[in-house]
Structure 1
Amino acid sequence: MRVKEFQAFLQEKKVDASILVSIGMEPDPNFFYFTGYEGAGALIIPQSGRPLLLAPKMEQERARKSRIKSVKILEKKRLFDSVREHVGRAKKIGMDGSALALNAAKALRKSFRKARTIDVSRKIRELRTIKTMEEISYIRRSCREADSILQQCLKNFREFRTESEAAAFLQHEALKRGLDVPFRPIVASGKHASMSHHAPQSTKLNKGLCVIDFGVKVKGYCSDMTRTIGIGSVPPAQRKKYQKLLGVQQQAMASATDAMKCSLIYDGVIRALGKDAPYFTHGLGHGIGVEIHELPNLTTSSIDRMQKSMAFTVEPGIYYPKKFGIRIEDSVLLATRPEQLTKTTKELIII
């Protein structure tokens, strides 16, 4: 994506080239961000000029469909020895300290013995927080797909006997559409909803409030949303808590403005929750993009600030142990004003 801006950073730090690699079963996020390529390989981003993507021979066809115009075969030798041949002499090399395992980092330094290394991962994560128009279009599509699938799930909900059946429906519908899911869907019914990251069970759906947390990936870009519904009867006191939390969530979304400290949004939610604040046990939200959790962080200790073209979630929740839980979450884009991207109704649906 924003290669030119990253190269300006390399020039400022006097880094000759930055090397990003992806060698696991899942594409490395920073590597994917610049390439749009999900296979194995190494990306060389020089201080100036065109980046170079090295990919195994078996991945050449796929690699040549990436954003990187210059693609060459990664020779069958030690990874960083092959990379060094294309980098040449360098005094300072950028590396992704968040992605390289200890042994891989040692191998890189061994191949570039005379060069100093600098961790560039924080800078890339910062670049990723401000979305380009292309990225925003992917996130919008991802949110539309998540809405469509979740709405279909709600229509069919009476057919599900267990939490795991409902979760499987969400995941299967995504796969049917050729989409990935960034995390296993959460379906937490009754007392299970008091656990914010409950794993769906193959036991009968419990009556009461039910938290459903779901998202998909389009072109590698994530959406994330949570709706709380009712199964059977929901006590009036819990309905009242739901309406209160909904008001808090809507107020928190509306309060986000350019340059605002993210911690202030979180602190505003704590004040609005009042007596329920001790039962809000996680952060208010997080950035979304090629990872489901990116910058900015919406927590009381966050040093991040809101900026235009950030995509993030707002997800207050209250969890009364062994009793019930409620969470309401939307994906949001900060444009001229905050724009809610996930549109599924937030009225308390009773099934």
Structure 2
Amino acid sequence: MKEKWSVLEQHMKTHGVHTLLITDPKHVYYLTGFLSEPHERFLGVILIQGREPFMIVPALDEEAARSASAVTEIYTHTDTDNPYQVLKQALRGSSGILGLEKNYISLARYEAITEALGGKGTVDIGPWLQAMRVRKTDEEVGKIKHAVSLIEEVLKQSLTKVKVGVTENELVAEVEYQIRKLGADGPSFDSMVLTGDKTALPHGTPGTRQVAPGDLLMFDIGVYAAGYASDITRTFAVGDISAELQTVYNTVLAANEQAIRATRPGASFSEIDLAARQVIEDAGYGPYFIHRLGHGLGIDVHEYPSIHAGNHDKLQSGNIFTVEPGIYLPGKGGVRIEDDVLVTENGVAVLTTFPKTLTVVG
């Protein structure tokens, strides 16, 4: 934790920032080890030049914060307190230039903070935190690997319930039962199970559609465990599928594998997107790959980097992101194959291990 604060302190000196106020619960966890969802209540960790970080938490979370947080100076507020006055008193003086997460903080909260603290202006610290988060530590990699292992076991167990006539909603219920049974904190996003021509909807909504012979069946699922996310998609065949859908599957698999081969330090995110996209275009399905190749993965299930043809930033060791090409044929079906990958010093490690060859289920 101290290394992270040192990086932030250096940014503060460079940009003339007197006070950092970090209120995104994910960032509070990242910097202190305390994971909480305060809902509408105020939660923040504050760093002032020349002073150790301190926290302000809802009173009902005080015991949990003192148990989990690496920060020892903790102030609390009750539901009848004005948390911004508690913040003002804890600062013990002028806030100077404030560093805030402008992509997270609401206008109402911004106005309340600036009214209480005054200050001499604000600086967006989102880019500082993004640059820190994009390269995962060994500890973070271990937590993401654990989340990956859990979701793969969830998928394995859920597939045993697949049979002709079962509904998408019933399979989603099984997925989320297994998520809790196997010890994850919860799903990292709304679990998605689609069958038949609904698999042509990249973000379709599960419903009462029943699994039928000749269908494609898509699971896009993930979990949070110890504050870190996993995300996996696999597409299966229910009995015999058409030759066209088999071709689509094989094309998506080839695109997935080509993008992974292109993943290495120094390559650009645009390069790996285009590596997958070229495979799909060469097969004649270019117009049916309608989204980016992937997204960063960590304490958020979707975080920087965004893997698309317009992102020319370079890959660095420690980056973790998804590789998830897809082809979606309206009225027929779609295939997406998604892996979670880690950029290493020499190349890439694929964290997801669930088989990708076309598998018949049900």
Which category of TM-score, normalised to the shorter sequence, fits these structures?
over 0.9
Structure 1 residues 1-351: aligned runs within 5 Å: 1=1, 2-21=4-23, 28-39=25-36, 40=38, 41-76=43-78, 77-87=81-91, 88-158=93-163, 161-179=166-184, 180-207=186-213, 208-274=215-281, 275-335=284-344, 336-351=346-361
More moved, 103-112 vs 32-41: 32-41
Displacement of 1:122: 2.2
Displacement of 1:30: 2.2
Displacement of 1:166: 0.9
In structure 2, what is the Cα distance between the partners aligned to 1:62 and 1:29?
A: 16
**C-alpha contact (below 8 Å) 2:148/2:351 kept by paired residues:** yes
**C-alpha contact (below 8 Å) 1:42/1:83 kept by paired residues:** no
Give RMSD over aligned pairs. 1.7
Return closer, same or farther for 1:323/1:342 CA change in 2, 3 Å cut-off: same
In structure 2, what is the Cα distance between the partners aligned to 1:154 and 1:308?
A: 34
In structure 1, what is the Cα distance between the partners aligned to 2:57 and 2:71?
A: 13
Amino acid at match of 1:221: Y
Q: Secondary structure at the match of 1:339?
A: strand
**C-alpha contact (below 8 Å) 1:52/1:68 kept by paired residues:** no
Amino acid at match of 1:296: P
In structure 1, what is the Cα distance between the partners aligned to 2:291 and 2:187?
A: 22
Q: Secondary structure at the match of 1:68?
A: coil
Displacement of 1:139: 0.3
Displacement of 1:312: 0.4
More moved, 282-291 vs 61-70: 61-70
Runs of 5+ consecutive residues of structure 2 not aligned to the other structure: none
**C-alpha contact (below 8 Å) 2:158/2:174 kept by paired residues:** yes
Return closer, same or farther for 1:75/1:163 CA change in 2, 3 Å cut-off: closer
Amino acid at match of 2:47: I
In structure 1, what is the Cα distance between the partners aligned to 2:294 and 2:187?
A: 19
Return closer, same or farther for 1:276/1:48 CA change in 2, 3 Å cut-off: farther
**C-alpha contact (below 8 Å) 2:19/2:46 kept by paired residues:** yes
Displacement of 1:156: 2.9
**C-alpha contact (below 8 Å) 1:8/1:47 kept by paired residues:** no
Displacement of 1:48: 4.6
Runs of 5+ consecutive residues of structure 1 not aligned to the other structure: 23-27
**C-alpha contact (below 8 Å) 1:331/1:342 kept by paired residues:** yes
In structure 2, what is the Cα distance between the partners aligned to 1:62 and 1:196?
A: 39
Q: Secondary structure at the match of 1:38?
A: coil
Displacement of 1:38: 2.9
**C-alpha contact (below 8 Å) 2:75/2:90 kept by paired residues:** no
User: Which stretches of structure 1, 4 residues or longer, exceed 6 Å deviation after superposition?
Assistant: none
In structure 2, what is the Cα distance between the partners aligned to 1:47 and 1:177?
A: 44
Displacement of 1:300: 1.2
In structure 2, what is the Cα distance between the partners aligned to 1:244 and 1:21?
A: 44
Displacement of 1:263: 0.9
After superposition, give the CA deviation of every residue in 1:50-93 in whole Å (9 maximum; x if it has no partner). 21112222211100123333232323432222112222213211
More moved, 156-165 vs 193-202: 156-165
In structure 2, what is the Cα distance between the partners aligned to 1:188 and 1:15?
A: 49
- Number of positions where the alignment pairs a residue of Structure 1 with one of Structure 2: 346
Percent identity (aligned): 26
Displacement of 1:160: 6.8
**C-alpha contact (below 8 Å) 1:7/1:48 kept by paired residues:** no
In structure 2, what is the Cα distance between the partners aligned to 1:258 and 1:293?
A: 21
In structure 1, what is the Cα distance between the partners aligned to 2:325 and 2:269?
A: 14
In structure 2, what is the Cα distance between the partners aligned to 1:132 and 1:251?
A: 26
In structure 1, what is the Cα distance between the partners aligned to 2:164 and 2:288?
A: 32
In structure 2, what is the Cα distance between the partners aligned to 1:304 and 1:239?
A: 35
